[in-house]
Structure 1
Amino acid sequence: MRAVLRLLLPIFLAEVWLASDPALGLQGSEAQAERGALELQGPQNQTWEELQAPANTDEKQEQEHEKAPLMAQQQQLVNETTNFGFSLLRKISMRHDGNVVFSPLGVSLAMAGLMLGTRGKTKAEVESVFHLQAVNQTEPHSLPNLFKGLREALSSNPDLGLTQGSFAFIHKDFDIEETFINLSKRYFDTECVPLNFRNASQAKGLMNHYVNKETQGKIPKLFNEVNPETKLVLVDYILFKGKWLTPFDPVYTEPDTFHLDKYKAVKVPMMYREGKFASTFDKNFRCHILKLPYRGNATMLVVLMEKKGDYLALEDYLTTDLVETWLRNMKTRNMEVFFPKFRLEQKYEMHELLKQLGIRSVFSHSADLGGLSAAARNLQVSKVLQQSVIEVDEKGTEAAAGTLSEIIAYSLPPVVKVDRPFHFMIYEETSKVLLFLGRVANPTLP
């Protein structure tokens, strides 16, 4: 008997297969700015703004004292999730130097959801990737609870255009732990859907229907086939439909040259806008950093190397601290910006990359998935597949995913033309959580 667990994240998609037969082995490689703080949930399912105002100074100080550790843990989680994303980017870059797009938040939510079914060493390895082992020791489900607070803070901002959720498609005969179902619902708002995977064609059609609906048509046909021995499919989705705070006027979009390297170039539709932009220049890495704001207090951060061909070297040094340094040193001024339209769609088999980052046990015969099923012996995760889609045009973006540095804020030229390979980061301003991370080497390719 073979049990299969697929964990898929559109626009970021992580597909995890769970095999019970070791012989089968692996099957393949504005919240607004003035809010000022995340609406993290308190111990009684209240936001911090909803907590009763303190009656006196001592009570207020006590309340602030109790709130500080949770806020610190939340920021630590965001920082580690971002650094985790940069680490994944470096691993992907070892395999190819083309276009890249994925969601660090998506993969983090996927692993946190899977962690609810892990025990022992397997659970510890997942925790260690986020360097939050101490946090998770304060109470049984501290780490999932932090992710829950982050998800709720993001979803409370309708202008952000971010949708996130999950499904659990469960075969009627699979002996899944009720606790796992309850915790998945509690922390990740998972909707459980019973299916008969023995009727593979019907199961495939129903799952495609759910995924297509929740991703608003971005992933119309996720499943091409379904193994009739499948027992459980977990689908986590994250969808970002950002709109520029000030859109580009399509009237000014014209074909222009994008230099792939010193010798090759392609024609791309180049957007144009004149206005006030926040920017800086890093003299250490010789790169321009430009902010393109969305509605809902989100931003695309564009990193453009001064010289053609140097963009890959920057990836070794990307950290949360470096990005924070860039953001602190930005200055807003009037500029002209040329930015290419592009659409990327990328898939990655991630289990080997996750192994390199220290998550190994869950992919081996020694995986401890006792929290998932009472019959978890011999179960293991065999495959992780990620898929991300991002489309950037005049209206905005639709995405279905310290080194001491000398910084100056005045060197960016009054005209910025993004006509060579660049990196982009889409993040929510208040929490600084990294929603999508990518590299555009050739905007004419997916």
Structure 2
Amino acid sequence: MERNGVLLWIFGFAIVVCGNQETLQQPPISAKLPSLINMNNDFAFHLYKRVIELPDYQSKNIFFSPFSVSMALSELSLGAGGDTKQQLLSGIGYNSTIFSTEEMHQLFHSLLEDISNRTGVDIDVGTALYASDRFKPHSKFLEDMKEFYHSDGFTVDFRVKETVDQINNYAKKKTQGKINQAVDNLEDDTLMFLLTYIYFKGKWDKPFKPEKTRESTFHIDDKTTVTVQMMHQYERLKVFYDAELSTKVLCLDYKDSFSMFLAVPDDKMEQKNIKDLEMTVSRQHVEKWKRSAFKKTVDIYVPKLSLKTSYSLKDILKGMGMADIFSDKANFTGVSEEKIFVSKVLHKATLDIDEQGTTAAAVTGVSMRVRLHNPLSILKFNRPFMIFITDQTNDNILFFGKVVNPNEKL
């Protein structure tokens, strides 16, 4: 029997995916929410480390939304069965001893509800499901997508160009114009297109003063430099020195309990560089930074940024054990009676940082406050560094990345 393609698209703070079916009870088992957050954040680091294994990304900026990707794969599991479902659940780090799959979907719903009630920042997370007018998804799958993932639903003809325009206009609207082109084209035999998106715009709790921004040098590596617009503050801010990682950490708060962590290897420790940091850092380190950061009057220098990234995640997800969804072994009987498989998984992301705040669209130890060279008196992010945008109320990593060259263009 002929098999038909389903496009799984994950885009920068917008995502494209495919669905799943399950019988679920109503919301939340709030005591288990931290376990879902841990699952999502562990997935974030596993995905990141798969990305940096690829030669094309080892010396480039990386920025993505692990929350968008894990949510998309969770949605996909709603319609999966057999080994396909097990691979998806294992790939995102699901542990049946902690919560059931029904509870997992309820907890995602709870997270989305909480995000939708935030007022201090501009944040929007959601899903759009486009189904071919020649394709009949199960009503149960559509109902679950709507109930648990706030999915919008559209019936379209993938054979006409207007459908691509419709999807791109939707993505542009939901990401406030940050992602104008979610998809370039679609095959005529596409039966379903699942788009998940996240848009975040936050203003700094303590804004930078534009008149203090100056041209400065950013060191891409020992031999290469670029000129950037470097913002400056001399302010009482939250900082931490991670002795285990030989890394300086700065926490910049937004309004309404969101924060950005910037982590740069200590330039006084010559044997440490960004590659050492990105291979070693984990969820537990970010949790430690949140617990251990303390307020100190410091000089900080942070480059203005405007990044765009784009990824095809098909081979990466295969490498994480989710291979069947892309083959004739795919079991999506919870989506439809037709035999379907995922043809693509795409992710696009954008990040803008300036004096007022950040706009992004599309994831224990030793506290050492004193060192001989006083590493926290000045924090200069003038070398490759890592970025994490987190929800401080629950530690959810919304965005994750590495800046190698602030001037790099997609």
- TM-score w.r.t. length of structure 2: 0.90
Change (3 A) 1:239 1:135: farther
- Provide the residue aligned with 1:126 in structure 2: 88
How far apart, CA to CA, are the structure 2 residues paired with 1:353 and 1:221?
22
How far apart, CA to CA, are the structure 2 residues paired with 1:191 and 1:3?
23
Instruction: Tell me whether 1:80 sits opposite 2:81 in the alignment.
Output: no
Instruction: Tell me whether 1:168 sits opposite 2:129 in the alignment.
Output: yes
**Secondary structure of 1:4's aligned partner:** strand
| Identity value in percent | 28
Q: Deviations over 1:190-241 (max 9, x none)?
A: 111121223x122122222222212211122333223222221111111111
**Secondary structure of 2:113's aligned partner:** helix
Structure 2 residue aligned with 1:350, among 276, 293, 313?
A: 313
Structure 2 residue aligned with 1:406, among 345, 351, 366?
A: 366
Structure 1 residue aligned with 2:239, among 279, 286, 296?
A: 279
2:241/2:376 contact within 8 Å kept: no
Task: Give the alignment of 1:150-169 within 5 angstroms.
Answer: 150-169=111-130
How far apart, CA to CA, are the structure 2 residues paired with 1:242 and 1:130?
28
Q: Deviations over 1:289-317 (max 9, x none)?
A: 11011111101001010127711111222
- TM-score w.r.t. length of structure 1: 0.83
1:135/1:143 contact within 8 Å kept: no
How far apart, CA to CA, are the structure 1 residues paired with 2:119 and 2:75?
24
- Provide the residue aligned with 2:67 in structure 1: 105
2:115/2:123 contact within 8 Å kept: yes
How far apart, CA to CA, are the structure 1 residues paired with 2:26 and 2:186?
42
- Provide the residue aligned with 2:222 in structure 1: 262
1:391/1:397 contact within 8 Å kept: yes
Structure 1 residue aligned with 2:302, among 328, 339, 342?
A: 339
**Secondary structure of 1:133's aligned partner:** coil
CA-based RMSD of the aligned residues comes to: 2.1
How much does 1:286 deviate? 1.1
How much does 1:320 deviate? 1.6
**Secondary structure of 1:141's aligned partner:** helix
- Provide the residue aligned with 1:330 in structure 2: 293
Q: Unpaired runs of 5+ in structure 1?
A: 19-42, 48-69
Which AA in structure 2 matches 1:228? D
- Provide the residue aligned with 1:143 in structure 2: 104
Change (3 A) 1:277 1:313: same
Which AA in structure 2 matches 1:439? K
- Provide the residue aligned with 1:321 in structure 2: 284
**Secondary structure of 1:442's aligned partner:** coil
Change (3 A) 1:341 1:131: same
1:287/1:306 contact within 8 Å kept: yes
How much does 1:413 deviate? 2.8
- Provide the residue aligned with 2:138 in structure 1: 177
**Secondary structure of 2:120's aligned partner:** helix
Which AA in structure 2 matches 1:74? L
**Alignment coverage as a number of residue pairs:** 393
Instruction: Tell me whether 1:117 sits opposite 2:84 in the alignment.
Output: no
How far apart, CA to CA, are the structure 2 residues paired with 1:431 and 1:183?
25
Task: Give the alignment of 1:419-438 within 5 angstroms.
Answer: 419-438=382-401
Change (3 A) 1:218 1:266: same
How far apart, CA to CA, are the structure 1 residues paired with 2:26 and 2:383?
51
**Secondary structure of 1:123's aligned partner:** helix
Q: Deviations over 1:132-165 (max 9, x none)?
A: 3315864x62211111111111221121321011
Instruction: Tell me whether 1:241 sits opposite 2:241 in the alignment.
Output: no
Change (3 A) 1:8 1:158: farther
1:339/1:418 contact within 8 Å kept: yes
Q: Deviations over 1:237-264 (max 9, x none)?
A: 1111111111111111110011111222
Q: Unpaired runs of 5+ in structure 2?
A: 20-24
How far apart, CA to CA, are the structure 2 residues paired with 1:279 and 1:76?
27
Change (3 A) 1:228 1:44: closer
Change (3 A) 1:226 1:351: closer
How much does 1:383 deviate? 1.8
1:154/1:162 contact within 8 Å kept: yes
How far apart, CA to CA, are the structure 2 residues paired with 1:266 and 1:424?
19
